[in-house]
Amino acid sequence: MSQPVAILTRHDKARLIAPALSQLGWQVAEIDSFDTDSLGSFAGEYPRFMTAQECAFRKAALAADLSGLNIGIGSEGSFSVGPFGIGTYNLELICCVNVAEGWAVTGRFYGPSLAQQWQLNDTAALEQALADIEPDQHLLLQQGSNLKKALTVAQAHNLALLWLAHGTVTLSYDLRAHLSPERRFHIRQAADDLARRLQSHCPECTTPGFWPDNALPGLPCEACGVATSLTRHRQACCRRCGHTTITPVAARHASQQYCQECNP
């Protein structure tokens, strides 16, 4: 017998998440009666007043409440500067809330993204910006208070040519999931991660989501044996009963390039 669950979205995310959850016997229903953009939008019409984790949890709770089902799903993405200040990274979170049993589990993806923004002053800059954008990726154009969303590459090109006659134009990716092929791929990966976490249960109380998220440093240097900042063990802790397990990583030693004694 399948387990009905609800996802709150207006951006066609159910079909991205459902395949991963089907391996648990779950059947995903899409709830679109709530304007999820009101919780914060990429284009900036609605300011973001929650963290991505808080927003994903809020959407999941709303999905359960609006559907009347025990299990709700909420998805939220965010973009930020990558590690060491290089590039753009996408964080995708998919939160699953079981209101009857009182637990929440979040799957995630974090990795580099092609998402960019350009300030355009002439046709040459426009042509260069559009050259490498995927055909299925939609775009935003903004000039002052004028904002156009969901533009194809061809539509953005034609409109930007008109707007450039009146000054600088801001061109950026439309990052809503149904208009961004890269985000759709990342959401599928986050859904796979969620499914794995839901199938990992606490050995004490069987609550799902028992996952070794906590990295404990101390991997010894291969040359001198001094503890380094690299991960030596990974820790899983149940959020319900507090049961904890610690497991060593596969590596036995750290390269001396990470050692403060050998390579200060």
Residue 159: per-residue pLDDT:
97
Fold of 3-114+180-198: Maf protein (3.90.950)
State the sign of the Cα–Cα–Cα–Cα dihedral 56, 61, 64, 67. negative
Dist. CA 150–CA 181, nearest whole Å: 13
Query: If the chain, 264 residues long, is cut into consecutive pieces of 10 residues, what is the mean pLDDT of each piece?
Result: 91 96 95 88 82 96 97 96 92 97 97 96 96 93 96 97 96 96 97 98 97 96 95 96 96 94 86
- How far the first Cα of the chain sits from its last, in Å, is 60
Residue 93: per-residue pLDDT:
98
Residue 1: per-residue pLDDT:
66
**Contact between 139 and 103 (Cβ < 8 Å):** no
Query: Which single residue is written with the structure tokens 């010894």?
Result: 220
Per-residue DSSP letter, 44: S
Residue 136: per-residue pLDDT:
93
Output b/e per residue, 26-42; b: 16+ Cβ within 10 A: bebebbeebebeebbbb
Other Cβ atoms closer than 10 A to 162? 11
Dist. CA 163–CA 64, nearest whole Å: 44
Hey, where are the domains in the chain? 3-114+180-198, 117-173, 214-258
